[in-house]
Amino acid sequence: MAETRRPKTVLFLCTGNYYRSRFAEVLFNHHAERLNLDWRADSRGLALEFGIWNIGPMSEYVVARLAEQGIGCHGYLRMPLRVSEADLSRADLIVAVKEAEHRPLLRQRFPDWADRVEYWHVHDLDGATPQEALAGLEREVLALAGRLQKP
């Protein structure tokens, strides 16, 4: 009987698991499937308590941008989830979407993991428009998918 191998996992982290990490998760999974990568993405938040304006399962900006690209998000409509030690341990690669924001949270809440994370520099709504932030995430996600393609 053939052994079934699980795909590797990239875990995207942001603050509230509502906007940036969710977009990265759905977009990565779309492109990973298209490119036949042996990787799948998941996402979590480091500080859900900071997302007081996060209403519902996912940002309207994310849903709209995915729809513009013809990417469905119905299978991803769940409420934001807080990252746990188990989530970090299960991941083969961890990406926090903004170093200045997320490295301090990781140092505070998961100090053993702070230096094992790949950090990007994608602003939240306080530092970029949705168009700018989501375009930045698209560039980063596509670059990551390209790096993970087997030679």
pLDDT digits (tens, 9 = 90+) for 77-101: 899 999 999 999 999 999 999 999 9
Pairing of strands 93-96, 39-45: unpaired
- 129 pLDDT higher than 80: yes
Three-state DSSP class for residue 108 = helix
- Answer yes or no: is pLDDT of 74 > 90: no
- pLDDT for residue 5: 76
- Kind and range of the H or E run holding 10: strand 8-14
Type of residue at 28: F
Residues 21 and 43: their CA atoms lie apart, in Å, by 6
Task: Spell out the domains of the chain, with CATH numbers in brackets.
Answer: 8-148 (3.40.50.2300)
Other residues' Cβ atoms within 10 Å of the Cβ of residue 120:
22
Q: What are phi and psi of 93, to 5 degrees?
A: -145, 135
Check whether 131 has a pLDDT greater than 90: yes
Distances from the Cα of 127 to the Cα of 16, 68, 100, 102, 121, angstroms: 16, 23, 12, 15, 11
Q: Looking at residue 151, what is its pLDDT?
A: 63
Examine the pLDDT at 36 and tell me if it is beyond 80.
yes
The pLDDT of residue 33 is above 90: yes
Label the pairing between strands 93-96 and 118-119: parallel
Own/partner pairs for 31-34, CB < 8 Å, 24+ apart?
Answer: 31/141, 31/142, 31/145, 32/145, 32/148
Query: Are 149 and 35 contacting, i.e. CB atoms less than 8 angstroms apart?
Result: yes
Task: Record the tokens describing residue 123, joined without a space.
Answer: 């602003």
pLDDT at 127 over 60: yes
Tokens of 151: 């030679």
Predicted TM-score of the model (pTM): 0.94
Share of the chain above pLDDT 90, in %: 85
